């Protein structure tokens, strides 16, 4: 139901009515059943506290059946409140979610059934559709933990399959484990990219886990299977990027600040690993100049691809921005050098003007700006309907972060020529609308939206006016 609903999902509502003395939350920590004293929500507009799990309430259940907890009567919601919708009526699929997680709560200690892992993954995906990353992470983390217990007896065999040169898994049992492993790893990694939370430990098995054999799966369109493998490739590529460029330096040695980090030489290699398009089926291949994709599978792949390119090139953007700030504000302090996200410096500390910057640094920064733009508009070819993506919060929050960086680059003397003003205005407009569509009344995405609205007014003041109904932006508004 949540995937069929392509409009904005209404937020959960705050319980404006005090609980009766015998009301309680379900003991397992999951939302109570939706028909029991669920507070109302307006179908046209929601007034929310933003806390889904703490909203619906029900009388103490005692020995009543689960069926009665879903379909039981409630006199508390009668009378003047009868014209308002309850949470389970306003939020698509919430009645099924509440019932399912109520049951799942009684299987917390069950570790030997893959069906429990699947159910937890579905619960995490549902919360992801509601832009609730913490709740989504809780379910995915629990699924990953259970999976590690279940697959432990099979780890040696899976490792042999990975290292013995066998091309593909042939046993459906091991294929099931591999498919679930990579699903959990992708979902958890996407959430951890935006949340500072402890991981489940699933990543430690990555190097010994073979890829699933998609030919053993039946009933799926070939594009879905091809898309899954491409997503898997990009996830392992992203993990390699983080290990290579952003992990703490184990030996603690510092190189001469006047020398470039040797990892500087690896940037082109990592970029070519995905830009060559050898990792993706021909039906999904694209070029850097292609417009945004018009189907969700291709759009998700391009979003992940450009996100990987952002991570590859963003240190060069940061270096130029920090160098520019140093030159403008501290011209007499040559001992202060820009600090990179890489482990060592990139820009020569002796550089005093733009012409002193290495051409490679400027070129890589330009590629980073291109990646930021394409990552931000990856879903703009899908129309105005709500996109069906696994992690709404992560996607929207990443686009917000992209625009913050692009805004700074837009006002930078070295990088401003790489950003078209009207294109930037369009990115602001569409991203703000996406945040409005995805955010809840008190969630962080609503805060992101307000920040972008304020920044948009600063970059493109009202005096810029409009031209034929479209924003008419002048370069002079940069500074």
Clarify whether residues 277 and 135 are in a common domain: no
pLDDT of residue 298: 95
Q: Which of 161, 190, 218 is the last residue of a domain?
A: 218
User: Contact 370/312 with Cβ under 8 angstroms?
Assistant: no
- Is pLDDT at 241 greater than 70 in this prediction? yes
**Long-range Cβ contacts of 252-258 (<8 Å, 24+ apart):** 254/344, 255/344, 257/337, 257/344, 257/345, 257/349, 258/348, 258/349, 258/350
Q: Confirm whether 319 is domain-assigned.
A: yes
352 vs 341: which has the higher pLDDT: 352
How far is CA 22 from each of CA 14, 60, 99, 155, 388, rounded to the nearest angstrom? 19, 6, 21, 49, 40
Clarify whether residues 297 and 419 are in a common domain: yes
Clarify whether residues 129 and 190 are in a common domain: yes
Clarify whether residues 66 and 161 are in a common domain: no
Q: What's the average model confidence in pLDDT over 287-306?
A: 94
CA-to-CA distance for 170 and 287, rounded, in angstroms?
35
Clarify whether residues 207 and 275 are in a common domain: no
CA-to-CA distance for 374 and 307, rounded, in angstroms?
9
- Window from 162-166, 217-221, 338-342 with minimum mean pLDDT: 338-342
**pLDDT band with cut points at 50, 70 and 90 for residue 462:** low
CA-to-CA distance for 241 and 309, rounded, in angstroms?
10
Helix 133-151 to helix 172-192 angle (10° resolution) is 150
pLDDT of residue 348: 65
Q: What's the average model confidence in pLDDT over 50-64?
A: 41
Q: Confirm whether 223 is domain-assigned.
A: no
- Is pLDDT at 231 greater than 70 in this prediction? yes
CA-to-CA distance for 461 and 453, rounded, in angstroms?
11
Q: Confirm whether 245 is domain-assigned.
A: no
pLDDT of residue 258: 44
Clarify whether residues 182 and 278 are in a common domain: no
- Is pLDDT at 310 greater than 80 in this prediction? yes
pLDDT of residue 80: 44
**pLDDT band with cut points at 50, 70 and 90 for residue 244:** confident
CA-to-CA distance for 226 and 229, rounded, in angstroms?
5
CA geometry: angle 129, 131, 133, nearest 5 deg:
105
The total of other beta-carbon atoms located within 10 Å of residue 478's CB is 16
CA-to-CA distance for 230 and 293, rounded, in angstroms?
16
CA-to-CA distance for 412 and 136, rounded, in angstroms?
38
**pLDDT band with cut points at 50, 70 and 90 for residue 262:** low
Instruction: Tell me whether strands 58-59 and 466-467 are parallel, antiparallel or unpaired.
Output: unpaired
Q: Which of 188, 218, 248 is the last residue of a domain?
A: 218
pLDDT of residue 261: 58
183 vs 52: which has the higher pLDDT: 183
- Is pLDDT at 71 greater than 60 in this prediction? no
393 vs 478: which has the higher pLDDT: 393
Q: Which of 108, 141, 161 is the last residue of a domain?
A: 108
Mean pLDDT of the chain: 78
Helix 392-410 to helix 359-376 angle (10° resolution) is 140
Clarify whether residues 115 and 102 are in a common domain: no
Clarify whether residues 125 and 167 are in a common domain: yes
Nearest CA among 202, 109, 108 for reference residue 148: 202
Clarify whether residues 193 and 327 are in a common domain: no
pLDDT of residue 15: 57
Q: Confirm whether 179 is domain-assigned.
A: yes
Tokens 């992940």 correspond to what residue? 304
Q: How do residues 384-399 score in pLDDT, each as one tens digit?
A: 888 888 999 999 999 9
Nearest CA among 426, 435, 436, 434 for reference residue 456: 426
- Window from 164-168, 184-188, 318-322, 437-441 with minimum mean pLDDT: 164-168
Entry pTM: 0.78
- Is pLDDT at 361 greater than 70 in this prediction? yes
Share of the chain above pLDDT 70, in %: 71
CA-to-CA distance for 439 and 131, rounded, in angstroms?
7
**pLDDT band with cut points at 50, 70 and 90 for residue 333:** low
Share of the chain above pLDDT 90, in %: 47
User: Contact 283/331 with Cβ under 8 angstroms?
Assistant: no
Q: Confirm whether 141 is domain-assigned.
A: yes
Q: How do residues 1-46 score in pLDDT, each as one tens digit?
A: 877 777 777 777 655 544 444 443 443 334 444 444 444 443 434 3
CA geometry: angle 91, 63, 70, nearest 5 deg:
15
**pLDDT band with cut points at 50, 70 and 90 for residue 66:** very low
pLDDT of residue 416: 92
200 vs 267: which has the higher pLDDT: 200
| Both structure tokens of 14 | 């705050």
pLDDT of residue 350: 65
Q: Confirm whether 180 is domain-assigned.
A: yes
Q: Which domain holds residue 50?
A: 1-108
- Is pLDDT at 226 greater than 70 in this prediction? yes
Q: Confirm whether 252 is domain-assigned.
A: no
Clarify whether residues 104 and 116 are in a common domain: no
Q: What's the average model confidence in pLDDT over 42-53?
A: 40
- Is pLDDT at 418 greater than 60 in this prediction? yes
Clarify whether residues 192 and 51 are in a common domain: no
Clarify whether residues 53 and 185 are in a common domain: no
Q: How do residues 93-135 score in pLDDT, each as one tens digit?
A: 888 888 888 888 888 888 888 999 999 999 999 999 888 999 9
220 vs 383: which has the higher pLDDT: 220
pLDDT of residue 188: 96
Q: What's the average model confidence in pLDDT over 426-440?
A: 91
3-state SS, one letter per residue, for the chain: CCCCCCCCCCCCCCCCCCCCCCEECCCCCCCCCCCCCCCEECCCCCCCCCCCCCCCCEECCCCCCHHHHHHCCCHHHCHHHCCCEEHHHHCCCHHHHHHHHHHHHHHCCCCCCHHHHHHHHHHHHHHHHCCCHHHHHHHHHHHHHHHHHHHHHHHHHHHHHHHCCCCCCCCHHHHHHHHHHHHHHHHHHHHHCCCCCCCCCHHHHHHHCCCCCHHHCCCCCHHHHHHHHHHHHHHHHHHHHHHHHHCCCCCCCCCCCCCCCHHHHHHHHHHHHHHCCCCCCHHHCCCCCCCCCCCHHHHHHHHHHHHHHHHHHHHHHHHHHHHHHHHHHCCCCCCCCCCCCCCCCCCCCCCCCHHHCCHHHHHHHHHHHHHHHHHHCCCHHHCCCCCCCCCHHHHHHHHHHHHHHHHHHHCCCCCHHHCCHHHHHHHHHHHHHHHHHHCCCCCHHHHHHHHHHHHHHHHCCHHHCEECCEECCCHHHHC
376 vs 85: which has the higher pLDDT: 376
Q: What's the average model confidence in pLDDT over 459-469?
A: 58
Q: Confirm whether 224 is domain-assigned.
A: no
What is the count of structural domains for the chain? 3
């Amino acid at each position: 139901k949540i995937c069929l609903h392509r409009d904005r999902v209404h937020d959960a509502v705050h319980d404006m009515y005090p609980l009766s003395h015998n009301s309680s939350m379900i003991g397992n920590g999951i939302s109570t059943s939706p028909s029991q004293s669920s507070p109302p929500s307006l179908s046209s507009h929601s007034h929310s506290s933003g806390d889904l799990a703490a909203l619906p309430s029900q009388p103490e259940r005692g020995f009543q059946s689960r069926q009665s907890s879903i379909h039981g009567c409630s006199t508390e919601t009668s009378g003047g409140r009868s014209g308002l919708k309850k949470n389970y009526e306003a939020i698509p699929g919430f009645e099924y979610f509440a019932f399912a997680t109520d049951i799942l709560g009684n299987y917390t200690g069950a570790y030997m059934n893959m069906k429990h892992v699947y159910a937890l993954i579905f619960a995490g995906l549902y919360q992801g559709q509601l832009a609730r990353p913490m709740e989504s992470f809780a379910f995915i983390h629990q699924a990953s933990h259970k999976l590690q217990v279940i697959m432990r007896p099979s780890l040696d065999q899976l490792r042999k399959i990975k290292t013995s040169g066998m091309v593909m898994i042939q046993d459906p049992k091991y294929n099931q484990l591999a498919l679930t492993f990579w699903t959990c790893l992708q979902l958890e990694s996407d959430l951890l990219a935006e949340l500072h939370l402890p991981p489940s430990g699933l990543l430690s098995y990555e190097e010994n886990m073979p890829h699933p054999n998609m030919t053993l799966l039946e009933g799926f369109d070939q594009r879905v299977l091809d898309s899954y493998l491409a997503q898997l490739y990009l996830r392992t590529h992203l993990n390699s990027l983080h290990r290579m460029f952003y992990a703490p330096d184990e030996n603690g040695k510092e190189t001469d600040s006047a020398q470039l980090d040797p990892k500087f030489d690896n940037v082109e290699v990592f970029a070519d690993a995905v830009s060559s398009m050898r990792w993706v089926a021909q039906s999904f291949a694209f070029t850097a100049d292609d417009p945004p994709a018009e189907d969700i599978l291709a759009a998700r792949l391009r979003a992940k691809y450009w996100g990987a390119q952002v991570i590859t090139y963003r240190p060069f953007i940061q270096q130029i921005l920090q160098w520019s700030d140093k030159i403008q504000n501290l011209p007499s302090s040559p001992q202060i050098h820009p600090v990179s996200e890489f482990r060592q410096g990139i820009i020569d500390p002796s550089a005093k003007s733009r012409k002193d910057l290495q051409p490679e640094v400027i070129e890589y920064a330009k590629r980073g700006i291109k990646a930021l733009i394409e990552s931000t508009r990856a879903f703009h070819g899908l129309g105005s309907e709500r996109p069906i993506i696994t992690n709404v919060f992560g996607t929207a929050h990443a686009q917000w972060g992209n625009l913050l960086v692009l805004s700074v680059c837009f006002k930078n003397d070295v990088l401003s020529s790489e950003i078209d003003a009207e294109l930037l205005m369009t990115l602001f407009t569409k991203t703000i609308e996406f945040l409005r569509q995805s955010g809840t009344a008190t969630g962080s995405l609503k805060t992101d939206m307000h920040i972008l609205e304020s920044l948009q007014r600063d970059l493109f003041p009202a005096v810029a006016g409009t031209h034929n109904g479209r924003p008419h932006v002048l370069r002079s508004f940069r500074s």
